[in-house]
Amino acid sequence: MEITLNKPLDMHLHLRDNEMLKTVAPLSAKTFSSAIIMPNLVPPVTTIEDVISYKERIIEACGDESFDPLMTLFFKDDYSYDFLNSAKEHIFAIKLYPAGITTNSEGGVSTIDSETLKKTLEAMSELGIPLCVHGESDGFVMDREKEFVPIYEELATKFPNLKIIMEHITTKDSVEALERHSNLYATITLHHLLITLDDVAGGMLHPHLFCKPIAKRPEDRAALLKVALDAHPKVMFGSDSAPHPKHAKESCGCAAGVFTAPIALQVLVELFEKHDKLENLQKFISDNAQKIYNFKPCEKVVTLEKKSFIVPTSYNDVIPMYAGKEISWSIKSIS
């Protein structure tokens, strides 16, 4: 049994920098046509020069792979129209982080409301630059995304021409918000389609499944599965694959992030097959994103076959999800 996927897209990807970039970038570039690259480096990507330089480093790290990194700026509430107009040709979107809410987000926005963010969001609306948001409050960890939904709705209402992407959604509340605003969209990760908080901390702590936003309840996972498996036109795949070295994960103060890049396509096929929804995977993995962002990615065709594959235990000291375990699908060819 085989399945062919055209122009697979990862609409939310962390590649880091330096040696980590060299390790992980080729793994995504091998199987994905394009990916939206997160800007939360240290220091964050906030200038045009930063964007151009980081893209050059990514392309170099990818070697001969055919891969188009879609670059982003780290959101600041004082970006001017003139600056964003100059940056537009170099960026695909702008990513907003609440200050301190996740990895390398200390320089994020402290106050998130339509008035505080007005200058930048008005310019983005006029220029047609999408806004990607890590949507969590600083409340109780299980309620943070739910508490952020009213902020999404305020921004969607006050800036109706602004395309807003709710990144890596994890709750049924976020799924329901999609239906209330025409300019709200969402990315969904592989790991949030598979796990709940019980998998992370229900028994012995599993540090390689710890991420932000944290995995939620079974009913939340069910809501995510429903829209993903049905390839709801407002959702798309974004891995949020977030590599950390083993010592940063298996330690006190465990770093947040699940590394799924090398197995994302294989496990998505496995998941969609399990639910008898393989006919919808092409939309979830590529077609929806092309329509939402109105772009055409570079050509890439990935053929997968139903053949068992043992996931490597590590990639240069980065531990992937399902490390050492057998999955039922493999990459057969890429053209």
Residues 69-111 have pLDDT tens digits of 999 999 999 999 999 999 999 999 999 999 999 999 999 998 8
Catalytic residue from among 240, 276, 287, 317: 240
Per-residue pLDDT tens over the stretch 317-329: 999 999 999 999 9
Say what the pLDDT of residue 175 is. Answer: 98
Angle made by CA atoms 272, 243, 236, in degrees to the nearest 5: 35
How sure is the predictor about 213, in pLDDT bands with cuts at 50, 70 and 90?
Answer: very high
Say what the pLDDT of residue 15 is. Answer: 98
Task: Indicate if 240 belongs to the active site.
Answer: yes
Instruction: Note if the pTM is more than 0.85.
Output: yes
How sure is the predictor about 159, in pLDDT bands with cuts at 50, 70 and 90?
Answer: very high
* pLDDT above 90 as % of the chain: 99
Say what the pLDDT of residue 309 is. Answer: 97
- The enclosing H or E element of 74 equals strand 72-74
Mean pLDDT along residues 157-181:
98
Mean pLDDT along residues 195-204:
97
Helix runs in the chain, H state only: 18-31, 48-62, 81-87, 118-127, 144-158, 172-178, 190-194, 197-201, 218-229, 246-249, 264-274, 281-282, 288-293
Q: Are 21 and 13 in contact, with CB atoms under 8 Å apart?
A: no
Q: Which range has the worst mean pLDDT, 105-109, 124-128, 159-163, 300-304?
A: 105-109
What is the pLDDT of the chain when averaged over all its residues?
97
- What's domain 10-256's superfamily in CATH? Metal-dependent hydrolases (3.20.20.140)
